[in-house]
Amino acid sequence: MIRQPTFTLATLSERFGLTLSGDGKLAIRGVATLAGAAHGQISFLANPRYRKDLLSTQASAVVLPAADAAAAPCAVLISSNAYASFARIAALFDHDSGVVAGIHPTAVIDSSAQVDASASIGPGVCIGARSQVGAGAVVGAGCVIGEDCAIGNDSHLVARVTLVKRVRVGTHCLIHPGAVLGADGFGLAMDQGRWLKVPQLGGVVLGDDCEIGANTTIDRGALDDTVLEDDVRIDNQVQIGHNVRIGAHTAIAGCAAVAGSAKIGRFCLIAGGAGIVGHIEICDRVTVTAMSLVTHSITQAGSYSSGVPLQETRDWRRNAARFRHLDELARRVKTIHNNENTE
């Protein structure tokens, strides 16, 4: 049984540079939502829509902005970024059963591979020729590491992760179950009525501190590498095509797809279900909202959207029918405008 860690509010305040209002001797044994918290737990308020839950929370303490501190019925830790501060506190309670260095007897490792003595190789792992696993790295159960791959120090492949070939993972990366990195990119050439497969000779490069979600796929490049720079965060079930380049600190939410050779800048946010066509560039600090389709390059920072918001089906049908006549209507308006200017 794992012993539950306990921290006083004073300890949390000092450790994370937060302003304490209340009893610093209060013991915190866990984290929870405002609505679900009990005595001994700490919660947070970052979204104004949950202010109503603050008034009735049973939490022993809440992390929140200074403007909301007076409304709290309990002790508070004041932060200018309550969500980030809560994340750091919650990490203290994220239990890990402990990683044991060494190689499980069921693992199969090529004789030319190099595994650091402090790494942990789980059951059923397969590591191919010339691949390397760095110090403190964890390769969980059922992972397959192909040829010429490298896993950086302290990176963690949770379980059933596949690095097909020529994949380089930086330090402190986290890759969730089912992710596949380094599969063939979708490269095809039409020749005499049949598809000819274009060899994918590049690799995949992940910078440091990246996170790749469950069942996400990142294809290796055709000639150059597919590259994710430092601190890129990819959600579950995302498709990253070959030769894509994603700038540092960009985050991409679930079910988004990025087609081959697209370039995404730094500090971008790509929301769920968005699509980005190939061979375009998106500059730094761009937000693409959910279900949007990006069909051309974006050269100015800002928020971009496309698609039709949800509406009743009968209204959507009428509007869809009218949409087909927009070009005709625009031409008529232009003609009327030109006629008025010539009179």
Q: DSSP string spanning 271-332?
A: -TT-EE-TT-EE-SSEEE-TT-EE-S-B-S-EEE--S-----HHHHHHHHHHHTTHHHHHHH
Structure tokens at 314: 């009968």
Residues 6+ apart with CB under 8 A from 254: 213, 235, 236, 237, 238, 272, 273
Residues 6+ apart with CB under 8 A from 226: 185, 202, 203, 204, 205, 218, 219, 220, 240, 241, 242, 243, 244, 245
Cα radius of gyration rounded to whole Å, the chain: 26
Closest C-alpha among 175, 246, 183 to residue 214 = 175
Residues 6+ apart with CB under 8 A from 340: none
Residues 6+ apart with CB under 8 A from 25: 8, 9, 10
Token pair 């009428």 is found at 318
Spell out the alpha helix ranges (H) of the chain. Answer: 9-16, 51-56, 82-91, 313-323, 326-342
Within a 10 A sphere around the Cβ of 198, how many other Cβ atoms? Answer: 15
Cβ atoms of 144 and 162 closer than 8 Å: yes
Cβ atoms of 248 and 271 closer than 8 Å: no
Q: Which residues pair with 127 in a beta bridge?
A: 109, 145
DSSP 8-state class, residue 130: T
Closest C-alpha among 248, 247, 276 to residue 260 = 276
Is residue 156 flagged as an active site residue? no
Which of the residues 156, 176, 242, 249 is marked catalytic? 242
Active-site residues, by number, are: 242
